[in-house]
Amino acid sequence: MIYLGEQNETRIMYSQKAYCYLNKKLFGSYSKDNKEGYKCKLDVCDICSKGFHQLSLGVFKNFIKPYLFEILNVQPKDMLALEGKLILNWIQQGYGSCVEFQNNCKAIFLKGYNTWFINYSINYELAEWLDQHTCSFCNRQYIFTARKNAGAKGITCQFDHWLSKSKHPLFSLSFYNLIPCCSVCNSSIKSTEKFNTNTHLHPYVDKHISNSFSFSYKLNAQSEYEIDFANENHISKKAKKTLEDLGTKLVYSKHSQTELKDLIDLRLKYNENYLQSLLEKTFGDLNMSDEERYRLIFGIEIDEKDYHKRPMSKFKKDIITELLSIK
């Protein structure tokens, strides 16, 4: 998994838009006939300049209004407590049941994700602001955004909901609950697992997430090399659970006979250490940084903060480092 950085500017830009959208859906547009309606203080706001069909959510709209900013910006570790507090208040104030609370959340937040966030290309905008080039979970697939024309759609990442949007619809549009990733990780792997910051690492929380484990290899019963983790006993419980539930070994397993084998061959198949020769001799005496050598020879980034820019950077860097350490 890859740390996504602080991303504070992006969070502020995104949550401002989502805040305007939610208020417009709940209260309609401000006008002399709708004094309760919403309009933000910005001179130009591409959300407030649009008309959205107002929902009629009864008492829920005034109940949830004071919490909208907090819901959009809540830190991952505080999400479940905020949800619990709101459900308790809702029930204690006699507004209705837990199920009714969740149904209201589905009508405004989950529907907002499925319609506004996707149909109005907010996913493209958020992806462009985040500027992550490969999947935050696997670092195997490119997820960058490219539009057919300015403003049009094209290709972009998927957003995984760290806390599932069906079980926790309140956080369907919350910034730290939206993790840019590839479709394999989003739909085939992570969708089945229950994630929680007490038991799993989080790509917005754990700064050294990429260094919480190292890729390695071993010989299997068929005497073939296969991908493994180094010193599994030293991997923290949280990191282990995260790797298991993201299926990291599974998604990398098919690379054993391709990328892994190529690197091992470069080091072990011949008498000469070609791995070292490539790094030391390819560019002669050119004054070139290690970063540049690895990028040109292996197509990877070796600085943790840049892993996301090239697929399999973390994997190949770990394997190459281990192979170079063999005397």
Binding site for Zn ion (CB under 5 A): 20, 40, 45, 47-48, 135, 137-138, 182, 185
Residue placing its CB nearer to Zn ion in the complex, 53 or 148: 53
Query: From residue 163, how far is each of 67, 115, 177, 194 by CA, in Å?
Result: 18, 19, 6, 7
Cβ 23 to Zn ion, closest distance in Å? 8
Residue placing its CB nearer to Zn ion in the complex, 45 or 297: 45
Residue placing its CB nearer to Zn ion in the complex, 47 or 55: 47
Residue placing its CB nearer to Zn ion in the complex, 185 or 275: 185
Residue placing its CB nearer to Zn ion in the complex, 40 or 264: 40
Cβ 180 to Zn ion, closest distance in Å? 10
Cβ 117 to Zn ion, closest distance in Å? 16
d(CA 226, CA 216): 9
Cβ 84 to Zn ion, closest distance in Å? 30
Q: Which of 213, 160, 168 is nearest to 188 (CA)?
A: 160
Cβ 68 to Zn ion, closest distance in Å? 13
Q: Which amino acid is at 299?
A: G
Cβ 52 to Zn ion, closest distance in Å? 11
The CA-to-CA distance between both ends of the chain, in Å, stands at 30
Residue placing its CB nearer to Zn ion in the complex, 182 or 209: 182
